[in-house]
Amino acid sequence: MRSVAQEGSEHGAERTPAHRLDRRGADGSTARDRLVEAGHDVAIYNRTKAKTAPLVERGGTAVDSPAELADRDVVFSMVSASKDLLDITTGDGGVLTAESRRRC
């Protein structure tokens, strides 16, 4: 697994795609924005597609389902309830159930 390189790091300039599953709107937006501004490949899923617009305007990518993030090295999630976490991870179309996910 590659790690996210910090600006000026001795580890070089390799950047790991970072992704976030979002069910609560603006929570975590500062961290997300900083990742985009630092040049990381950031994608976001939100049940309300319009809420992904600010990220897309800054250079990020919106995806239509959590399953589209299954091949990524790093996934952040912000949800308000245990059921929501189960839905986006192991539910229908969840990030951990996608057939295309990378196997370690």
Tens-place pLDDT, residues 29-81: 778 888 888 998 999 999 899 988 988 998 999 999 999 998 888 888 888 89
* Residue with more model confidence, 88 or 27: 88
Cβ pair 60, 43 in contact under 8 A: yes
* Residue with more model confidence, 88 or 25: 88
Residue 92: pLDDT above 50? Answer: yes
How confident is the model at residue 98, as a pLDDT?
A: 60
- Six-digit token string for 96: 């951990």
* Residue with more model confidence, 12 or 54: 54
Query: Domains in the chain, start-ordered, CATH in brackets?
Result: 18-89 (3.40.50.720)
